[in-house]
Amino acid sequence: MSDQHIVSSFTEDMNELDSLVLQMGGLVEQQLKDATIALKKEDRELAKKVLKGDAAVNELEATLNDAAIRILALRQPVAMDLRNVVVSLKIARHLERMGDYSKNIGRRTNTIAKAEAFTGSVGTLVRMSEKVQSMLKSGLDAYSQRDAEKAESVRAEDQQVDQMLNTLFRELLTYMMEDARNISGAMHLLFMAKNIERIGDHIADIAKETIYMVTGEWPQERRNKEDKTSKMIVDIADNEAID
């Protein structure tokens, strides 16, 4: 076998790995989009489709893992190629978890009562989801284009998602305090919002690992988490006690 053929074959293997990452990303993006539409339109059939779609994400992760292990065993990549393989494995794991969170949103859509009482909060949650979908697309583009600068921009956007969660958390707590009958529906929406926020965290981690893949250096941990929901529970409880 000629050296040229070996190089060509290695390139094909690496391209296949990239393709699998992007396929997984596309499936997860569609899952989250469908889960959000299902909630907005109270479409239980679409929510069921989201639940079933998780199997395809898991299957792709297994295929990607096999491809990465084969490259490591047979090609023994070094430098950026080695980082590419390792980061691809990590990204696949992030995407699998994101698929699980999307499935959770679909499952709660199937159990939540009519959401007319939470129209404003559902709108905020939909905007959160759309923001995260945009982040995922940009994050996958950064990976595909080997663009560390774009990946850094994606990391910075995660704070906006945290801030949206904080706003929604306050809205839902208000609904629950106004009428105890709102508690069940509000809690479902809150858990959905937290799932979306966690997806944003995973996307930020994908961006971080993309930067490492491209530059060989881990970026500084400059992201300060803006999720204040745990503290809010204490603050609001204190205010209620004062009132």
Mean pLDDT (10-residue bins), the chain, 243 residues: 62 96 98 94 92 96 97 94 97 98 92 66 93 98 98 97 95 90 89 97 98 96 62 46 39
Residue 201: its pLDDT value, please?
97
With b for 16 or more beta-carbon neighbours within 10 A and e for fewer, the 159-185 pattern comes to: bebbebbbebbebbbebbeeeeebeeb
Residue 181: its pLDDT value, please?
86
Residue 204: its pLDDT value, please?
98
3-state secondary structure of 226: coil
Residue 217: its pLDDT value, please?
96
User: How many angstroms separate the CA atoms of 68 and 61, rounded?
Assistant: 10
Domain boundaries, the chain: 3-234
Q: Which residue in 163, 86, 180, 98 sits closest to 124, CA to CA? A: 163
Superfamily of domain 3-234: Phosphate transport system protein phou homolog 2; domain 2 (1.20.58.220)
User: How many angstroms separate the CA atoms of 14 and 114, rounded?
Assistant: 48
3-state secondary structure 64-110: HHHHHHHHHHHCCCCHHHHHHHHHHHHHHHHHHHHHHHHHHHHHHHH
Residue 232: its pLDDT value, please?
53
